DNA sequence: CCATACTTGCTATCCAGCAAGCAAGCGAAG
DNA sequence: CTTCGCTTGCTTGCTGGATAGCAAGTATGG
């Protein structure tokens, strides 16, 4: 072993505290997580989280920022990967939806943190949501360009993107509540895959429907 | 006035406490809501919530149960209304989705309570979710019968129903976080209506896609 | 006058933040 | 090379504020 666990190592401690805090904030929420618990899980003492991060609120902020950074870089690399090779627009959409579904499923901590934030976190986040917001804008521009949809805010592309996010997001949070209540099992990998397949089918089908609706409108406009 | 506000009236007090608690639990969550706050908002003293409901946990439970009851009766009456008159399956589906979208939008407290519950409420709800679960089963049976889909758990009807719930649910929670991040405005009634229209179009379009996929499978099966 | 509807005082618990202390590396003076 | 002293990592004791729940008190109406 390169270093004993007993040695002093601030980087290691910071990372361990961030990991512990992310897990506990995601699991129990801000109010129900004590700094003592964070220290315990991180293998440091009661006071160390406060020592490194100043206050509980600052620690929470640091957790959020680290999550956002991870997500942003992941979204970037995923997008690059999606555009390699030549595929039809529908294939690209299907692949992106599938990837995003897996992406969120693999990051329940992130999803839960944002969820709690949406419900009104510690203090209402009035600050700029720059990191995730920019990721959203990137995704919006990409989907609009790729599918030939209106890229305006609240336009077709934004609506479709929000639908995709809704469909991929919801099962992560509600596997044991709503999904169970409406009779969808999500506990096994197979069930998970089946859900993903349904979502992809719904979105690609919906894209066709949007196109045809737009065609209808064009026809109506032409005939008027 | 039939009764002075100063008179003793346990029913009135109980209802006021439930209203106040529902609002505060939905807004700030269980942990950040104190019984003193509930009493203050309900116009009673600090100790009255405890007097009527025993403990904070019991009060929370009572709030949830009242919400579930309301929702269940609302779902029943909405379903009856949907089946009056003769419409195509697609029209019925579109109407139901539209109604459900409005239904959830009009009940943010309910949505937020369930959301917090899904994130792991006060104590993990290991108890039976009988009320909402039965409402989900009713909806599942109805949608399967009406659209001629497979009513089995995790079958087509269940998947579609979960998608509908996802799409209608998400904007209520994430109007200021994710929706804003992907460029969808939901702040005005018009924007809200536009979102609803998109959801309805997506679901009805998705239904057609599901049908055609099933046809494909049938054709494949037949040709095999 | 008594049961019931409330209120108020009290206490035990929890926890965030601070402040003081201990210990481990580390560079420089001797 | 070694020891002295400073910086930094980390721990522990303490305090003040919040709050749930209980117990004792007060008031109101039948």
Which ranges of chain A have pLDDT less than 50?
Answer: 1-3, 125-126, 218-224
Q: Distance (Å, rounded) from C-alpha B117 to C-alpha B120?
A: 5
Please state whether strand C lies within 7 Å of residue A34 at its CB atom.
Answer: yes
| Confidence (pLDDT) at A158 | 95
The pLDDT tens digits of the residues spanning B70-92 come to 888 888 888 788 777 778 888 88
Confirm if A82 and A92 have CB atoms less than 8 A apart. Answer: yes
> Could you tell me the two tokens for A53?
């991060």
User: What is residue B73's DSSP assignment?
Assistant: H
- The distance (Å) linking the CA of A34 with the C1' of C16 is 9
pLDDT for B132 beyond 90 = no
The residue among B146 and A14 whose pLDDT is bigger is: A14
In the stretch 41-70 of chain B, residues with CB closer than 8 A to chain A read: none
CB contact under 8 A, B136 and A181: yes
B193, B205, B215, B216: which to substitute to probe chain A, counting the most A Cβ within 10 Å?
Answer: B205
pLDDT for B207 beyond 90 = no
Tell which strand D nucleotides have any atom below 7 Å from a protein Cβ: 8-13, 18-23, 28-29
Residues of chain A with Cβ-Cβ distance to B170 below 8 Å are: 162, 165-166, 169-170
User: What is residue A154's DSSP assignment?
Assistant: T
Sequence ranges of chain A with CATH classification 1.10.357: 64-223
Q: Distance (Å, rounded) from C-alpha B143 to C-alpha B148?
A: 8
pLDDT for B1 beyond 80 = no
| Confidence (pLDDT) at B66 | 94
Q: Which long-range contacts (CB under 8 A, 24 or more apart) does B93-98 make?
A: B93/B143, B93/B146, B93/B147, B93/B203, B93/B204, B93/B207, B94/B200, B94/B203, B94/B204, B96/B143, B96/B164, B97/B164, B97/B167, B97/B168, B97/B199, B97/B200, B97/B203, B97/B204, B98/B196, B98/B200
Burial class (CB in 10 A: 0-12, 13-18, 19+), A184: buried
**pTM, two decimal places:** 0.88
| Confidence (pLDDT) at A97 | 94
| Confidence (pLDDT) at A146 | 85
Confirm if B50 and B58 have CB atoms less than 8 A apart. Answer: no
User: Hey, is the C-beta of A176 within 8 angstroms of any chain B C-beta?
Assistant: yes
Confirm if B67 and B113 have CB atoms less than 8 A apart. Answer: yes
What average pLDDT does range B196-210 have in this prediction? 91
User: What is residue B55's DSSP assignment?
Assistant: S
Q: How far is A10 from chain B (nearest CA, A)?
A: 32
Banded pLDDT at B123 (limits 50, 70, 90): low
CB contact under 8 A, A158 and B184: yes
Banded pLDDT at B223 (limits 50, 70, 90): very low
**C-alpha B165, offset from chain centre:** 8
Q: Please, what CATH class does the domain formed by B1-54 belong to?
A: mainly alpha
Q: Distance (Å, rounded) from C-alpha B110 to C-alpha B97?
A: 18
Q: Distance (Å, rounded) from C-alpha B34 to C-alpha B75?
A: 32
User: What is residue A36's DSSP assignment?
Assistant: H
Residue of chain A minimizing CA distance to B111: A119
Q: Distance (Å, rounded) from C-alpha A45 to C-alpha A36?
A: 7
B105, B125, B143, B202: which to substitute to probe chain A, counting the most A Cβ within 10 Å?
Answer: B202
> Could you tell me the two tokens for B110?
């309910």
The residue among A135 and B211 whose pLDDT is bigger is: A135
Task: Quickly tell me which residue has 């964070």 as its tokens.
Answer: A38
Give me the percent of chain B exceeding a pLDDT of 70. Answer: 87
User: What is residue B152's DSSP assignment?
Assistant: S
A110: CB partners within 8 A, 6+ apart: A26, A67, A70, A71, A104
Handedness of CA A7, A10, A15, A18 (dihedral sign): positive
Per CATH, the number for B64-223 is 1.10.357
B22: CB partners within 8 A, 6+ apart: B63, B66, B67, B109, B113
Sequence ranges of chain B with CATH classification 1.10.10.60: 1-54
Angle at CA of residue A47, ends A22 and A19, nearest 5°: 20
Please state whether strand C lies within 7 Å of residue A122 at its CB atom.
Answer: no
Q: How far is A176 from chain B (nearest CA, A)?
A: 7
| Confidence (pLDDT) at B126 | 46
| Confidence (pLDDT) at B142 | 87
pLDDT for B216 beyond 70 = no
Q: Distance (Å, rounded) from C-alpha A69 to C-alpha A199?
A: 27
Q: Which long-range contacts (CB under 8 A, 24 or more apart) does B33-38 make?
A: B35/B59
* Average pLDDT of the residues of chain B: 87
Q: How far is A67 from chain B (nearest CA, A)?
A: 15
User: Hey, is the C-beta of B24 within 8 angstroms of any chain A C-beta?
Assistant: no
The pLDDT tens digits of the residues spanning A78-92 come to 888 877 777 888 888
Confirm if A151 and A140 have CB atoms less than 8 A apart. Answer: yes
Task: Quickly tell me which residue has 């539209």 as its tokens.
Answer: B98
Q: Distance (Å, rounded) from C-alpha A149 to C-alpha A128?
A: 28
| Confidence (pLDDT) at A163 | 98
Banded pLDDT at B220 (limits 50, 70, 90): very low
Q: How far is A25 from chain B (nearest CA, A)?
A: 11
Nearest to B115 among A115, A180, A213 (CB): A115
Give me the percent of chain B exceeding a pLDDT of 90. Answer: 62
| Confidence (pLDDT) at A129 | 57
CB contact under 8 A, A183 and B158: yes
Residues of chain A with Cβ-Cβ distance to B198 below 8 Å are: 156, 159-160, 163
Closest among A137, A143, A146 to A89, alpha carbons compared: A146
């Amino acid at each position: 072993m390169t270093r004993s666990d007993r040695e002093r190592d601030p980087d290691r401690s910071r990372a361990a505290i961030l990991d512990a805090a992310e897990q506990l904030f995601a699991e129990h929420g801000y109010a129900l997580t004590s700094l003592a618990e964070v220290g315990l899980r991180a293998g440091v003492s009661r006071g160390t989280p406060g020592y490194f991060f100043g206050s509980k609120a600052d620690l929470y902020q640091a957790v959020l920022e680290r999550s956002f950074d991870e997500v942003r870089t992941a979204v970037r690399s995923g997008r690059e990967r999606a555009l390699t090779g030549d595929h039809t627009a529908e294939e690209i959409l299907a692949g992106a939806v599938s990837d995003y579904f897996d992406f969120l499923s693999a990051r329940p901590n992130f999803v839960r943190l944002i969820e709690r934030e949406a419900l009104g976190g510690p203090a209402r986040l009035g600050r700029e949501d720059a990191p995730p917001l920019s990721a959203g804008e990137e995704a919006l521009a990409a989907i609009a360009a790729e599918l030939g949809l209106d890229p305006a805010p609240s336009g077709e592309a934004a609506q479709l993107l929000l639908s995709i996010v809704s469909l991929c997001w919801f099962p992560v949070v509600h596997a044991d509540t709503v999904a169970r209540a409406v009779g969808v099992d999500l506990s096994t990998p197979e069930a998970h895959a089946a859900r993903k397949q349904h979502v992809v089918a719904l979105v690609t089908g919906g894209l066709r429907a949007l196109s045809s609706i737009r065609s209808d409108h064009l026809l109506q406009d032409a005939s008027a």
